[in-house]
Amino acid sequence: MGTAIIKFRIMPKSPDTDLKAIEEKAKQIIKEITNSDVNVETEPIAFGLVALYLTFAFDESLSTDKTEEKLKQIKTVSSVEVADFRRALG
């Protein structure tokens, strides 16, 4: 198999949640599993709530479930979902 580019959307529990803390913990989890650099973006959702998007390279032969479950275990995270998954070219 090849390499895929995956994007996870992480929703914090409240608008007051420290996104930087979630970002650092999530990057650490992703590095342990994939050893890939992580691109981070934020998107305002509503009423002060901001979603965190993490994009990184991922081995296509692996399941995303393990990464998703570990990210969900971060205390201040409400939900985690795969926002995009596509094959990397080149």
Query: Which CATH number fits the domain that encloses residue 74?
Result: 3.30.70.60
pLDDT value, residue 12: 97
Q: Is 18 exposed, middle or buried (0-12, 13-18, 19+ CB in 10 A)?
A: exposed
Residue 52: give the domain boundaries: 3-87
- Indicate the pTM of the whole model: 0.90
Q: Which residues of the chain have pLDDT under 70?
A: 1, 90
pLDDT value, residue 78: 96
pLDDT value, residue 63: 86
Cα–Cα dist 43/86, whole Å: 21
Number of domains observed in the structure of the chain: 1
Contact 33, 67 (CB under 8 A): yes
pLDDT value, residue 9: 98
pLDDT value, residue 88: 77
